Structure 1
Amino acid sequence: MMLRLGLSVMIESRIQQLIDALNVSVLEFARKLGEHRGEKVYHILHGRLKPRYDTLEKILLAYPQINGDWLLRGEGMMFKVLDSPSAAITVEERLRNMEFLLFQLNERMALLQETNDLLRAEIEQLRQQG
């Protein structure tokens, strides 16, 4: 029995989700990180480069509302929910957080359903053999 690991999204995918959620172009995103051209970010998004520590640090400095745990490991919400001014999030960002959490829940439900179906099939096969 082989289960897909749909919950472990690659960091490149999270960076793309972030760019989409911020509603900026790849070039705008790269420039906010101090890059003059977007090539480095494009290469990261297409899997040709792995993001280095300094790039991840630049993202978190340029966008202090981003949850570092989410960016690095995919844990928690995309945007921080704190009272500090640097981490204040807008209603729109809260809605994106909720959409992302719903997406995660749907992915988990689909994975659980798939696992359940596979286990039922195995049980039925064992019943027929025994």
Structure 2
Amino acid sequence: MTIHLRLQQLIDSLDISVLEFARQLGEHRGEKVYHILHGRLKPRYDTLEKILVAYPQVNGDWLLRGEGLMFKLLSSPSAAITTEERLRNMEFLLFQLNERISLLQETNDQLLAELSSLNRGPKGR
């Protein structure tokens, strides 16, 4: 998943508008964020840093590389993520697993078809 898709998913999970998200990053207008979300710009380091400062519950590994959960699982009560955020994490993980299962099923089907055609071999042998 590309970073612009992860950012869109984050904004959706935070249940805020793109403009509100941009304002939390210190942007007065949402143009830069819109361009990133549509793949016309790649987020710069300072933008990613602003996201992690504005939303400390966001997992940096997930944001940068798509690894792990969207939100950190913190043990500190003052910084703990909500049950709703945990549910969103679980929904996202289930979505990722379903995508992987679909991809593996497609690959399996292709391999079975290939194997079947190899077993039939050319006629006339």
Instruction: State the TM-score bracket (shorter-chain normalisation).
Output: over 0.9
Q: Give, in whole Å, the separation in 1 of the partners of 2:50 and 2:81.
A: 19
Structure 1: gaps of 5 or more residues: 1-8
* Structure 1 residue 86 displacement after superposition: 6.2
Q: What's the TM-score once normalised by structure 1's chain length?
A: 0.91
Residue 49 of structure 2 corresponds to residue 90 of structure 1: no
What is the identity percentage for the equivalent residue pairs of Structure 1 and Structure 2? Answer: 79
Q: Give, in whole Å, the separation in 2 of the partners of 1:85 and 1:48.
A: 39
Equivalent residues, number: 122
* Structure 1 residue 88 displacement after superposition: 1.4
**Which stretch of structure 1 is more off in the superposition, 76-85 or 57-66?**
76-85
Cα distance, 1:128–1:96 mapped onto 2, change above 3 Å: same
Residue 61 of structure 2 corresponds to residue 73 of structure 1: no
Q: Give, in whole Å, the separation in 2 of the partners of 1:58 and 1:86.
A: 21
In the alignment, is the contact (CA less than 8 A) between 1:80 and 1:87 conserved in 2? Answer: no
Structure 2: gaps of 5 or more residues: none
Q: Give, in whole Å, the separation in 1 of the partners of 2:30 and 2:4.
A: 15
What is the match of residue 20 of structure 2?
28
Higher Cα radius of gyration? 2
* Structure 1 residue 87 displacement after superposition: 4.0
What is the match of residue 19 of structure 1?
11
Q: Give, in whole Å, the separation in 2 of the partners of 1:14 and 1:90.
A: 20
Cα distance, 1:86–1:41 mapped onto 2, change above 3 Å: farther
Q: Give, in whole Å, the separation in 2 of the partners of 1:100 and 1:51.
A: 22
